[in-house]
Structure 1
């Protein structure tokens, strides 16, 4: 074959091979997969509104303090000869327990001297009474007339009687001073601070220490006018004391105690414009019930006060409430709707809706960047559970 013939045949052969390969590739190609159109609209999680009746809880906070707090003060002079083992900072003691004893020698001597003085006065009174009887008999033997007071020694008798009463008072004072050498606890409590010790000389008016009563603890809780609208304070027309639940984190664990609201201080604070309610807790250190966690003085606690019944309201998470008291709803056509509602009360977690909602309506809980009224959406989770949607919708949600 000549070169000239080769130049003509070779391009034709290459073109024929290309045509054959193109036909083979066309026959082996699979048809394109047909996909159904995905539904339009973003998935929105919702919760359904449900009307309920509940009892409001009013929240506040305060510091635990003792109801009774006393400075122990000496009423006598002398040297301290005895100190109770419980007379230490943080020590507990019972009512009437001896805490400090002062040297008694001088006071015992004073009691003896007062007793001797009373004995002398009593003897002088008896002697004067005998003289009065003798004077009355002598006067009667001479005349039947009225005897003068001085002749019957009545003034002398009154003087001796006054001496006896004065001696009795001196003895009572001496005995009282002797009893004051034993300084006892006026009530059950604990010692907060101590200012004296064994062997120290003290005088009348010396502060020995500061004690706190452990029978009752009190917590002052600030309440605003808005809070007062949802609770009933105790008073002449309401003898019931609202229950109060106190809580605090102690050693990393949440502890709770029960108390009752017993009174208010009755005067608004001029700076904060709040009124203080007082909650009492019995046996805060759990001395009668060992094993329970004590409610120590000085601890800051949260308080939930039992309030009034709400009637029929809708309780929704507070973060769903938009400016202007609006909620974002999904209507029956799966379109977004902004609804203005009447809010009766809000707290840290919930808003309580009294009007503007009905049972079973869908409240949007998903975070939508730019929601518009009438926007088409699809229901995703309702009350935390997936709705029955097709597989493509779930795949699209998973891809998101």
Structure 2
């Protein structure tokens, strides 16, 4: 390789490198030093909510399962063959009070009534015969012994008592036969729903055997467990006729929420040994919507799991504070003139989403909802609007 070519290979890269270093040196010397800009502290960004003072009605939420207020096992009082069964006597069928459920063959009982009536007539005749003989015996005695009391045997006293007793027995037997005849027709004791049944046409049933189970449709109950501390906020009836606290029963179905009105009817008078909770019974009228004026909504069927909101006492002059605004030691942070102020408060009651405060807040304050690390009185605050 010639000297000229060798110099080109070595010198050209060095030349390019020198030009680059020179250009960088010129640019560095001519650059402008950036001016430092200090941004003033505008305060910690927080979310706030304004609170108000007023009367607050307590709302205590609980859950429970719908159960029957009344439940009756249908047990026939006479034996016999079933000759008629109501079409609705199937699980889920409805009956009005007094409607016939089923009937037992009556011929044997009608004959028993006839026999009882004949026996009653015979007893009446026997009594009249004994009375006539007693009258004759008394007259004979008075004619022969006018100054003496007649011997009981002479005036048929024992026979008279026996005849009177036989008459009473015959009357009772007739009454019993008539009752047995009436009992061949079994009717609904109240407005009800058939929960289960075990009777059919032609079946022979015996007295004392359960053939169906009915539950009342006029009223249903929900047994709700509550902490013992919630009881003193509610009106629980202690005697018949007292009205308990109102309640709203809610059921979610197909994405919708349905509600029924109810009220507390009693306390079960015991504490659940597992959860240490008191239990109250809440009554709901017409759970199946059988009343013609009932609202168009689904049935509040037995076994439904529902939410119950109990309306408790009204607390006068309290401030409703969001739970997010409460700090450790029952303190609240409020924002005044864009500065933080820590205020101790007196808590009356804690609910699911709110805390009720009786003192420490006057109402109208802006409470801070955002947690702040190292919060202290006088800390500068700002909101999204600021």
TM-score, normalised with respect to structure 2: 0.84
Residue 240 of structure 1: how far off its partner (Å): 3.8
Residue 190 of structure 2, aligned match among 187, 192, 200? 187
Cα RMSD of the aligned pairs, angstroms, is 2.6
More moved, 236-245 vs 117-126: 236-245
Contact 1:43 1:377 in 2 (8 A): no
More moved, 297-306 vs 188-197: 297-306
Q: Distance in 2 between matches of 1:322 and 1:169?
A: 80
CA deviation profile, 1:290-328 (whole Å, cap 9, x unmatched): 443232222222112221121221111112223332323
Residue 360 of structure 1: how far off its partner (Å): 3.0
Q: Which residue of 1 aligns with 2:119?
A: 117
Q: What secondary structure does 2:307 align onto?
A: strand
Q: Distance in 2 between matches of 1:380 and 1:291?
A: 47
1:361 aligns with 2:365: yes
1:295 aligns with 2:324: no
Residue 374 of structure 1: how far off its partner (Å): 4.6
**1:369-388 map, 5 Å:** 370-374=373-377, 376-381=379-384, 386=385
Residue 162 of structure 1, aligned match among 161, 165, 181? 165
Residue 49 of structure 1, aligned match among 48, 51, 66? 51
Residue 324 of structure 1, aligned match among 300, 310, 329? 329
**1:1-400 map, 5 Å:** 37=39, 40-144=42-146, 145-235=148-238, 239-288=242-291, 289-293=293-297, 294-332=299-337, 334-366=338-370, 368=372, 370-374=373-377, 376-381=379-384, 386=385, 389=386
CA deviation profile, 1:11-37 (whole Å, cap 9, x unmatched): xxxxxxxxxxxxxxx9xxxxx999995
Contact 1:344 1:354 in 2 (8 A): yes
Q: Distance in 2 between matches of 1:107 and 1:325?
A: 79
| Aligned CA distance change for structure 1 residues 181 and 141 (closer, same or farther; 3 Å) | same
Runs of 4+ in 1 over 4 A off after TM superposition: 32-39
Structure 2 residues not aligned, in runs of 5+: 1-29
TM-score, normalised with respect to structure 1: 0.81
User: How many residues get paired?
Assistant: 352
Contact 1:76 1:180 in 2 (8 A): yes
CA deviation profile, 1:140-193 (whole Å, cap 9, x unmatched): 222212111110111111111111111112222222222221111111111011
